Amino acid sequence: MVHLTTDFEKTTRLGLDALLAQTAALHNHLCPRQVLGVRMGMLAGELLGLSLPQADKRLYTFVETDGCFADGVSVAVNCWLGRRTMRLIDYGKVAATFVDTKTERAFRIAPNPEARHLAAEYAPNERSRWHTMLKAYQIMPVDALLCWREVRLTLDMQVLISRAGVQVNCELCGEEILNEREIIVAGQIRCRACHEGAYYTHE
C-alpha cells in the first residue's frame, strides 16, 4: 500500500464539502455511496500526484458499478462517460480503478470491508444505519474507510481510447461503428452486435 502525505487528511476536509454538494445536486440528495465515490476520487489524486478534478483528459477511470457512486467519482475527478474518460466494468462492486494515462500508473480503490462496522464508532448517535454511514463516511480516516492497491491493467489503453474521427460501417447491418470497435471476419467489417449477438432482439 502506498503511504499518504501527512497533510492529506487536512486537505481532504477542505475540499470534501464542496464536492459532496456538487454530487448531491445531481441526485437531489446525498447518500453513503456518493460519499465513497467522492472520497475515492480525492484519494486517487493523492496517490497519483494529480490535481483533481482534472481540467484535461489525463486521468481515466474504470468504475465497477453504476448509479450514484459513479457520479460521486465523476464529480471528484472530472471523468465522465460522455467525455470518454470513464468506463463501466459492471462487477456490481463499489470500487474504481484510476489510471494516469501519461505514466500508466493505476490504483484500484474499494471500501474497507470493515467500514460499515467501524462507522458506528465515528457517528454513534444517528437515527439509522444509513444515516450512520452517511455521516461516518465523511469523517472517517481514509485508511479506515478505504483500501487501495497499485495495479496493472490487462487491457491496452491506447486501443481503448482509440482515435478521434475514426468510423466505419458494418457490412451486415449497415450501422456506423465508432472508436475502432469493429471486428474483421473473413475480410468483412462487422459490428459486435452482428458478430457476437446483441443485447436486444427485433420484434
Percentage with pLDDT > 70 across the chain: 93
Give the mean pLDDT of 67-74.
96
Residues 107 and 176 in one domain: no
Domain assignment present for 202: no
The neighbouring-strand residues paired with 125 are: none
Task: Answer whether residue 2 is part of any domain.
Answer: no
The CATH number covering residue 16 comes to 3.30.1330.130
pLDDT of residue 5: 52
56 and 119, same domain (yes or no): yes
The label of the residue with cell 501527512 reads: 6
Q: Is residue 90 located within the same domain as residue 109? A: yes
User: The dihedral of CA 9, 10, 12, 16: what is its sign?
Assistant: positive
* pTM summary value: 0.89
User: Per the domain annotation, does 134 fall within a domain?
Assistant: yes
The CATH number covering residue 176 comes to 3.30.60
Please tell me whether residues 182 and 140 are part of one structural domain. no
What's the domain count of the chain? 2
- Asked, for residue 55, whether it belongs to a domain, the answer is yes
Tell me, yes or no, whether 45 and 120 share the same domain: yes
Nearest Cα neighbor of 4 from 59, 45, 41 is: 45
List strands edge to edge, sheet with 96-100: 86-88, 59-63, 96-100, 106-111, 146-151
Same domain, 85 and 175: no
Output the pLDDT for position 163: 81
Residues 140, 40, single domain; the answer is: yes
Q: Note the pLDDT tens digit of each residue in 6-56.
A: 455 554 555 899 999 999 999 899 999 999 999 999 999 999 999 999 999
Q: Report residue 28 as a C-alpha cell.
A: 437531489
The answer to whether 97 and 58 have CB atoms below 8 angstroms apart is no
User: How many CB atoms within 10 Å of residue 114?
Assistant: 11
Residues 96 and 174 in one domain: no
What percent of the chain clears pLDDT 90, i.e. is strictly above it?
A: 87
Distances (CA, A) of 101 to 40, 48, 61, 85, 98: 18, 11, 10, 10, 9
For the stretch 133-171, pLDDT in tens is: 999 999 999 999 999 999 999 999 988 888 878 899 999
Domain match, 72 and 128 both: yes
pLDDT number for residue 10: 52
One domain, residues 183 and 142: no
Whole-number pLDDT of residue 202: 84
Note down the domain range covering 181.
162-196
Does 109 share its domain with 144?
yes
For the chain, give the mean pLDDT: 93
3 belongs to a structural domain:
no
Are 129 and 187 part of one and the same domain?
no
